[in-house]
Structure 1
Amino acid sequence: MPTGARAAALGNASVTIPDLWALHNNVAGIASLKQTQVGAYAENRFGIRAFSTVAVQAVYPTARYGNYGLSLSRFGDALYSQQHVGLGIAHKLGQFSLGAKADLWQVAAEGYGSRKAVALSVGGQAELVPGLYVGANAYNINQARLAAFNDERLPTIMKAGLSYRPYPKLLLLAETEKHIDFPADFKAGIEYQMLQEKLALRSGFSTQTNKATFGLGFRARQLQADYAFGSTTLLGISHHLALGYTFQN
C-alpha cells in the first residue's frame, strides 16, 4: 500500500509526486530531494487496532551519486503481521528521474510461523512540458514467492499516472494501478495550497475501493505535518498521520 498522509488524502494517486514518501510510492521521486529528510507515518483502517501501520523513512541526497533512502514499516498485531526494511536509490538526469528499490518482507501468522521474501521495484518520473508530469512504477517485478503452497507470492503491482499544475497553487493528479490478479483501479486527486504555501487542502477518490479521501498539510519551516481520512460505504473510516523533518544542509 502507498505510504504517507499526503498520498492517502489524494486517493493514493502518488506515482508522480517527488517527496520523502516517494521512497515507498515511487522511488524515482526521491531523486528530486536536495536536503536530508526523515519522517514517521501512522495509519489506522476502519477503527480496528489490528489494521494499523507504522512506518519511518529517511532520504539522504548526494551531489554526484544519486539519492539514497531507507524505509521500515510494520502492519498488524500478534496474530498476523507484515514488516519490512527497504533500501532505495534514485538519480536525476535532466528532466528525468529513475530509481530502484529492494524491500525485505517478513510475513508472520500465529501458529504458522513466518516467511521472508525480497521484492524488487523500479520507477521513473519526468516533466514532459512545464507543469505536466508523468510517472510509472513497477513493484515486485521479480514476483517474490512467500510459500510453495498454492504458489503464494507478494503482490506484483504496476501503476502509471499524470499530474498537472495549471498554476503554482493547484495540482491535479490521475493514476491507474493494476494488480496482476485483480481489475485495474483508477485514482484521482486534487491539492490546493494557501497561506503562502504553508497550508494545503487535498481530496481524492479510488474507483476500485469506492473510497473518497480528504486531508490537509501544514508546513512550518523545516517541519511538515499531514493528516488524511478516507471512508468507504461498507467498511468505515481510515485515519492517516505523517510528520516529516527537513535538515538544513
Structure 2
Amino acid sequence: MKLLASLLLISIWTISFGQTNSFNLGGRSAGMAGASLTLGDEYSLFNNIGGLGRFENHAAFAAYQNRYGVTEFQVVGAGAVYASGIGNAGIGFYKFGDDLYSEQRLHLAFGNKIQMVSLGIGIDLLQYNISTVGTNRALAIQFGGIAEITSQLRFGAHIFNLNQAEISNETGEKAPTVMKAGMSYLPSDELIFNVEVEKDLEFDEVFRAGIEYQIVDKVFLRTGISTKPFMGAFGLGFHPKSLKFDYGFSNDSRLGSIHELSVSYNFKK
C-alpha cells in the first residue's frame, strides 16, 4: 500500500510540476505567475541569481506555498542575503513534499553588479527522497544575469543545472536543466511589465507574463499568466518600512489553486 501511494504521488508530481522545475519562490513572483526573472530583490536567490547583485540590503526571508490543498505538495523555503562592497552572498533552503516523496535544495550563491550588468553564480545540493527507494543527491551549478539596456528596459537570462548533474549513477537520470530568458519594461517607477520564456530540456517551452503596479505608497497589486498548464495569477504586496509581506494566488487549469505567502525583513548595510 505504501509503495502504491508513493507511485501515485510521484505520477501526480510528474504531471503537475514536470515543467516547472525552476524552484521559483516568493509571493511577489507567485502573484505574477512566476514572471520574476528580471526582478532584483532578495528572492532573486531562488528566481534568478543574476539579480542578486542588484539588491542593496541585508535580508532574511521565508515563504510557504500551499498547492491544491494537498499536504504532500506543500513547499517551504527560507534564505538570507548579505550585501557587501565586493558583492552579495546568499544562502537558501527549499523543500517540497513529505516523508513519502520529497525534494530538498540547499543553495549557496554570489552576485555582483558591474555598472549596468548584474551577474550571479550558485551551487546547489539537491536531494531527492522516495521512502520505498532511498535518497539520491546531486550538485548543480546555476548562472544568471540581468542587463539594464535603458532606464526603462531590462533583459535577463538564467540557467539551472548548467553541469547537467546526475541524480542516479545506476539509471543515469539527471536533475532538470532549465533555461530562462525574458525582459522587463518599466514605463514609470510604479509600473512593471514582465515577459519571459522557460525551457526545460525534457519539456516544451513555458511562457509567462506579469504586471506589478504600486497603487499607493507601500502597497502593490500584481497579476500574470503562464502556459503549460495555463495559469492565471494575482497578488498583493505590503511593504511597511523594513518588512515585506507578499501574497500570490494562482489557479492551475488541471489541478486547482495555489496560495503562497512570503515575508522578509531588510537590514540596512
Normalized against structure 1, the TM-score is what?
Answer: 0.97
1-structure distance, mates of 2:45, 2:265: 15
1:89 aligns with 2:113: no
1:3 aligns with 2:25: yes
1:144 aligns with 2:165: yes
Question: In the TM superposition, what is the alpha-carbon distance from 1:234 to its structure 2 partner?
Answer: 2.0
SS of the aligned residue for 2:167 comes to strand
SS of the aligned residue for 1:117 comes to strand
Question: In the TM superposition, what is the alpha-carbon distance from 1:74 to its structure 2 partner?
Answer: 1.2
1:178 aligns with 2:199: yes
Deviation per residue, 1:10-64 (Å, 9 max, x gap): 111111010001011110111011210110011011110100011111110111x
2-structure distance, mates of 1:90, 1:237: 34
Structure (1 or 2) with the greater helix fraction: 2
- Matching residue's letter, 2:73: F
Aligned Cα root-mean-square deviation (Å) = 0.9
1:28 aligns with 2:63: no
Correspondent of 2:136 among 115, 124, 130:
115
Cα contact 2:229–2:253 (8 A) shared by 1: no
1-structure distance, mates of 2:207, 2:96: 25
Correspondent of 1:124 among 145, 167, 181:
145
SS of the aligned residue for 1:67 comes to strand
1:217 aligns with 2:233: no
2-structure distance, mates of 1:212, 1:23: 24
Cα contact 2:211–2:222 (8 A) shared by 1: yes
2-structure distance, mates of 1:204, 1:195: 20
Structure 2: unaligned runs, 5 residues or longer:
1-22
Deviation per residue, 1:58-92 (Å, 9 max, x gap): 110111x2110000111111101111111000011
Structure 1: unaligned runs, 5 residues or longer:
none
Q: Size of the alignment, in residue pairs? A: 247
Deviation per residue, 1:102-128 (Å, 9 max, x gap): 010111111211011011000010110
Correspondent of 2:71 among 42, 49, 53:
49
2-structure distance, mates of 1:122, 1:234: 32
Deviation per residue, 1:169-191 (Å, 9 max, x gap): 11000000000011111100001
Question: In the TM superposition, what is the alpha-carbon distance from 1:209 to its structure 2 partner?
Answer: 1.4
Corresponding position of 1:242: 262
1-structure distance, mates of 2:55, 2:189: 19
2-structure distance, mates of 1:76, 1:107: 10
- Matching residue's letter, 2:266: T
2-structure distance, mates of 1:55, 1:130: 32
Corresponding position of 1:78: 99
Structure (1 or 2) with the greater strand fraction: 1
Question: In the TM superposition, what is the alpha-carbon distance from 1:149 to its structure 2 partner?
Answer: 4.2
Question: In the TM superposition, what is the alpha-carbon distance from 1:154 to its structure 2 partner?
Answer: 0.8
SS of the aligned residue for 1:91 comes to strand
- Matching residue's letter, 1:83: Q
Deviation beyond 6 Å, 4+ runs, structure 1: none
Question: In the TM superposition, what is the alpha-carbon distance from 1:130 to its structure 2 partner?
Answer: 1.1
Corresponding position of 1:134: 155
